[in-house]
Amino acid sequence: MANRAVFLDRDGTIVEDPGFLHEPDKVKLLPGAAAAIRRLNEAGYRVVVVTNQSGIARGLYTVDDYEAVQKRLGELLATHGARIDGAYFCPHHPQFPGPGGASCDCRKPGLKLFREAQAEFDIDFSRSWWVGDRLSDVQPARLLGGEGILVATGEGNVHQGQARALDVMVVADLASAVQEILTG
């Protein structure tokens, strides 16, 4: 049987979003995020982070910087008994296209990274959830047959009206989203 997954955005959903986060010492978990992820782990969900990192294309930081932030995030979560099973990122930006000048299909709401995670972890999209603070974080749920939840942390407050118009659930934070997932 294929695995259930929760696809999480990183900045503004799990951690504070200072803008182009690339310094490990600036990684700060949002309140309740670690406990929420631990609950998903305990419930048997694969926890997969999918994040757009246009700062790499803009030349603001490097892939190594991104990886250092991810390592720090993993360390912080581990102190709370939580873990991320997989992490995928898009280093592109529409104004700064990928190799050869081509636009990419890995930048959310593109589906490439979700399909890569599906192949790696044998994920059943119809039993999975997408959680983030931007519409592009949750739009793939509709395309792939899952459910999306917008959190009001990070940029979520800006997108609440559009999310509701698209019949996407809006909740306060990741802990509230996980409560909906586990009781829904």
Series of mean pLDDT values for 10-residue runs along the chain (184 residues): 93 96 98 98 98 92 98 98 98 67 80 97 98 96 96 88 87 98 92
pLDDT tens digits, one per residue of 126-146: 999 999 999 999 999 999 999
Rg (CA), the chain: 15
Cα torsion 112, 117, 120, 121 to 10°: value is -150
pLDDT recorded at residue 75? 98
pLDDT recorded at residue 60? 94
Active site residues: 9, 11
Show the tokens assigned to 112: 């490439």
What domains sit in the chain, N to C, each tagged with a CATH number?
5-183 (3.40.50.1000)
pLDDT recorded at residue 112? 96
pLDDT recorded at residue 137? 97
Tell me how long the chain is. Answer: 184
